[in-house]
């Protein structure tokens, strides 16, 4: 019971689908080991027991889309020694950032009969746009092995081994035939960060960008190739407007095709 | 006691998927008001689907919920197929049912063991439970892992699978990959039978309600992917009549629209509704296990939903085993859609109950209008009604026990608040 104090872990949720924190519960073989090496101090999806901060490590899922959440993330940052964002919502605003390109008032009235009951911001934004973030783990959803690597790294005071190179590298490493070269299927792989395990190309479909922009991407060149493959301008715009639409490189490229 | 003024506050209700709050007002020992609030921030899926291509809807709607993405992908796909005048049948339909069984197993086991069972055994979470009951949680995690394994083998990954599309799949799994599930599924049938026995032995609070149960019903099978909408009060309609019978209302205290059934103010969807409406279609083993675990032909105690979930998990394991044993690689991974204008409806049994989609497409296959009705928004009113009854029956409980009991009542529904529009705050106000 007593003995050496274990580091306190907190998991926080903002606007999201819960899929990334579920990835922690999906570590079936490792969950009880993780639980034994940290003190789960705040993780509402898993436990009603909560322990007060400060926390050694906070995992943050979800984007900021309400005035209340914009305040709450500051309180989370103040209580956290290390803050790691998990998933596309927290690192780039998520699919709900599609509102950033349109009139949110119109969105509200499309979905809700009584718009006056709804309190929301005009934008959905990444956590790093509000508070300093120590590490951003990408993915829609995150990969559970990468999550374990990041937890392991921070608990042992080392840098996480999470590559920022493209999906293309992952396909080559796995020996997956290039869907764009072999089949002419549009694929975001050349501009998207690796990490999922080249899932889509191995299912004979193009990557749709779950892990967001790779380091120094060149989307303009990729879009030109999409054009040669017969993709119309509006479709080129839309391909960048999914789960990482608000990531700067994807946002700028989609706006070039408006 | 009855004239006493007391206030109970719980800052956060845990072990649910999402952010919500509960407010209970008690005056002179009488419950005056119960409000189950959902303040999960609105995400506007139905708005930003407008203008997107029909083919994008499965991947986009999957992101409504990380726990039940298949429900959204399948509902969206089938609605699009309806709009485009096509149907997915035979081995591709079987493969859809198999991956859906995977989602039922993963979601039901997650809820039953990791989220709900700790309430019955008096633990704050499954990790504390595992310290006192070694082996139980480990076994549950292996069962849950198998559900996820099915999703990975067919869908590519457990959360937001990539291999599902309108018309079927991008690539059909190899026979040896599906056959490799058979051994683990044989183990899972036994493990889930043990689960039914374990949860059947819990103590259930004495509370009963005469529910209006709404679920799918299919002539040939326990409903998962398809069927007609029926109730225990005579409703029997095709899914395209959904909106003629179910009305969504927007109330001030919630960011999720509340579902009302015409002619009956509230209704129940989910495991109990499915079980009550489709008991005869369960397997012999599942029916027998249900009986031995103390379930009648009809379940009217919401606290026993954990037993029904365990029975459905058993059924899903048996069904997945059957489908895996009979799997042959389909000739083509998908049926090629022909783009046309139209309106389509899709409705499937998500782990938490019926999930309905309706889309209107233009001649280029662009979405003009989208409506999605998730199960938790339909159950909101019934959750409030149950809370009312449970609080009334338990006014003598000490405050902390009453709070826990209220939380447990909400967790009976395995509410997925992310879906319904997450963080449940509970305040009980006693005047």
The answer to whether B240 contacts chain A (CB < 8 Å) is no
Average pLDDT over residues A90-109: 86
pLDDT digits over A20-35, tens only? 999 988 888 888 888 8
Q: Give the DSSP per-residue string, B343-365.
A: EEEEEEEETTEEEEEEEEE-TTS
Q: How many folded domains does chain A comprise?
A: 2
Nearest by CB to B124, from A29, A47, A204: name it. A47
Same domain, A111 and A218: no
Average pLDDT over residues A181-198: 96
Using the beta-carbon criterion (under 8 Å), do A18 and B56 form an inter-chain contact? no
pLDDT value of position B417: 64
SS (H, E, C) B260-325: EECCECCCECCHHHHHHHHHHHCCHHHHHHHHHCCCCCCCCCHHHHHHHHHHHHHHHHHHHHHHHH
Number of H helices, E strands in chain B: 16, 14
A115 falls within a domain: yes
- Cα of first residue to Cα of last residue in chain A, in angstroms, is 60
Token pair of B81, please?
């197929």
What percentage of chain A has pLDDT greater than the value 70? 94
Using the beta-carbon criterion (under 8 Å), do B156 and A200 form an inter-chain contact? yes
- Please give the Cα distance from A204 to A208 (Å, whole number): 12
- Please tell me which residue of chain B has the smallest CA distance to A96: B43
Same domain, A95 and A181: no
Give residue B289's domain range.
45-209+279-367
Token pair of B7, please?
């206030």
Give residue A42's domain range.
8-155
3-class DSSP state of A231: coil
Same domain, A202 and A227: yes
Same domain, A55 and A84: yes
pLDDT value of position A3: 53
pLDDT digits over A71-88, tens only? 999 999 999 999 999 999
A73 falls within a domain: yes
Q: How many folded domains does chain B comprise?
A: 1
pLDDT digits over B117-152, tens only? 989 998 888 888 888 988 888 899 999 999 999 999
pLDDT value of position B424: 33
B261 falls within a domain: no
Query: Residue A54 pLDDT > 50, yes or no?
Result: yes
pLDDT value of position B8: 47
Q: Domain containing B316 — which CATH number?
A: 1.10.645.10
User: Which residues in chain B land under pLDDT 50?
Assistant: 1-3, 5-11, 420-427
Same domain, A79 and A22: yes
Say which residue the tokens 């006056």 belong to.
Answer: A116
B226 falls within a domain: no
Strand partners, B164: B169
A161 falls within a domain: no
B59 falls within a domain: yes
A2 falls within a domain: no
In B108-150, which ranges are E strands? Answer: none
B242 falls within a domain: no
A-contacting residues in B 20-59 (Cβ below 8 Å): 40-48, 50, 52-53, 56, 59
Using the beta-carbon criterion (under 8 Å), do B145 and A28 form an inter-chain contact? yes
pLDDT value of position A2: 44
A247 falls within a domain: yes
Using the beta-carbon criterion (under 8 Å), do A32 and B130 form an inter-chain contact? yes
A-contacting residues in B 149-178 (Cβ below 8 Å): 156-160, 162-163, 165, 169-171
Q: Of A155, A188, A221, at which residue does a domain stop?
A: A155
Q: pTM (2 decimals)?
A: 0.93
pLDDT value of position B254: 65
Same domain, A74 and A178: no
Q: At B20, give phi and psi (nearest 5°).
A: -155, -175
A-contacting residues in B 312-331 (Cβ below 8 Å): none
- Please give the Cα distance from B69 to B76 (Å, whole number): 11
Same domain, A189 and A224: yes
Q: At B194, give phi and psi (nearest 5°).
A: -65, -35
A162 falls within a domain: no
Same domain, A147 and A174: no
The answer to whether A22 contacts chain B (CB < 8 Å) is yes
Q: Of A155, A182, A217, at which residue does a domain stop?
A: A155
A1 falls within a domain: no
Same domain, A103 and A174: no
Using the beta-carbon criterion (under 8 Å), do B17 and A45 form an inter-chain contact? yes
Which of the residues A45, A185, A201 would you substitute to probe the B interface, choosing the one with the greatest number of B C-beta atoms within 10 Å? A45
CB atoms < 10 A from the CB of A6, how many?
Answer: 15
B172 falls within a domain: yes
A88 falls within a domain: yes
CB atoms < 10 A from the CB of A75, how many?
Answer: 12
pLDDT value of position A207: 98
Same domain, A134 and A178: no
B-contacting residues in A 157-216 (Cβ below 8 Å): 196-197, 199-200, 202-205, 208, 210
């Amino acid at each position: 019971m007593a003995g050496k104090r274990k580091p306190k872990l907190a998991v926080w949720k903002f606007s999201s689908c819960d899929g990334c924190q579920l990835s922690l519960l999906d570590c079936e073989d490792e969950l009880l080991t993780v639980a034994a090496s940290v003190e789960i101090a705040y993780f509402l999806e898993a436990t009603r027991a909560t322990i007060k901060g400060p926390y050694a490590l906070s995992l943050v899922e979800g984007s900021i889309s309400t005035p209340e959440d914009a305040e709450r993330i500051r309180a989370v940052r103040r209580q956290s020694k290390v803050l790691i964002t998990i998933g596309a919502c927290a690192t780039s605003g998520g699919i709900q950032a599609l509102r950033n390109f349109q009139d949110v008032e119109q969105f509200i009235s499309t979905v809700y009969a009584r718009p006056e009951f709804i309190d929301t911001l005009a934008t959905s934004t990444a956590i790093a746009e509000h508070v300093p973030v120590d590490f951003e783990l990408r993915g829609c959803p995150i990969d559970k092995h990468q999550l374990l690597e990041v937890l392991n790294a921070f608990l042992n005071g080392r840098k996480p081994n999470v590559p920022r190179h493209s999906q293309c590298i992952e396909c080559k490493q796995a020996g997956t035939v290039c869907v764009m070269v072999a089949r002419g299927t549009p694929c975001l792989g050349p501009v998207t960060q690796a990490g999922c395990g080249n899932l889509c190309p191995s299912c004979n479909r193009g990557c749709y960008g779950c892990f967001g922009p790779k380091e120094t991407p060149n989307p303009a060149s990729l879009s030109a190739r999409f054009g040669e493959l017969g993709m119309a301008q509006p479709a080129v715009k839309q391909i960048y407007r999914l789960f990482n639409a608000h990531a700067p490189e994807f946002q700028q490229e989609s706006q070039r095709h408006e | 006691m009855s004239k006493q003024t007391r206030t109970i506050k719980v800052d956060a209700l845990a072990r649910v998927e999402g952010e919500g709050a509960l407010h209970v007002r008690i005056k002179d020992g009488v419950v005056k008001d119960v409000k189950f609030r959902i303040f999960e921030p609105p995400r506007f899926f139905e708005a930003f689907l407008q203008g997107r291509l029909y083919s994008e809807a499965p991947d986009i709607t999957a992101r409504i919920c990380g726990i039940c993405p298949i429900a959204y992908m399948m509902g969206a796909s089938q609605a699009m197929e309806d709009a485009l005048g096509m149907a997915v049948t035979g081995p591709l339909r079987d493969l859809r049912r198999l991956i859906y069984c995977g989602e039922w197993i993963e979601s039901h086991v997650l809820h039953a063991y990791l989220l709900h069972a700790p309430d019955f055994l008096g633990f704050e979470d499954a990790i504390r439970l595992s310290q006192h009951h070694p082996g139980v949680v480990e076994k549950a995690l292996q069962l849950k892992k198998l559900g996820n394994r099915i999703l990975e083998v067919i869908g590519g990954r457990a959360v937001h699978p990539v291999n599902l599309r309108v018309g079927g799949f991008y690539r059909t799994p190899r026979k040896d990959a599906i056959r490799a599930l058979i051994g683990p599924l044989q183990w899972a049938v036994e493990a889930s039978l043990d689960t039914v026995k374990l949860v059947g032995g819990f103590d259930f609070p004495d509370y009963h309600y005469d529910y209006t149960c709404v679920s799918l019903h299919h002539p040939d099978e326990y409903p998962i992917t398809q069927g007609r909408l029926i109730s225990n009060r005579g409703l029997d309609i095709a899914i395209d009549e959904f909106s003629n019978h179910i009305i969504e209302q927007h109330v001030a205290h919630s960011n999720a629209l509340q579902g009302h059934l015409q002619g009956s103010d509230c209704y129940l969807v989910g495991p109990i509704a499915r079980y009550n409406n489709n008991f005869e279609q369960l397997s012999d083993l599942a029916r027998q296990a249900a009986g031995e675990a103390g379930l009648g032909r009809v379940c009217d105690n919401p606290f026993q939903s954990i037993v029904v979930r365990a029975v459905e998990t058993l059924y899903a394991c048996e069904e997945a085993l059957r489908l895996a044993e009979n799997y042959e690689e389909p000739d083509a991974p998908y049926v090629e859609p022909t783009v046309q204008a139209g309106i389509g409806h899709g409705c499937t049994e998500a782990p938490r109950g019926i999930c309905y989609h309706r889309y209107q497409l233009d001649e280029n296959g662009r979405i003009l209008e989208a409506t999605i009705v998730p199960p938790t928004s339909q159950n909101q009113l019934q959750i409030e009604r149950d809370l009312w009854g449970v609080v009334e029956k338990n006014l003598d409980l000490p405050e902390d026990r009453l709070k826990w009991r209220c939380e447990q009542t909400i967790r009976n529904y395995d509410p997925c608040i992310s879906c319904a529009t997450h963080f449940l705050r509970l305040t009980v106000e006693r005047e």
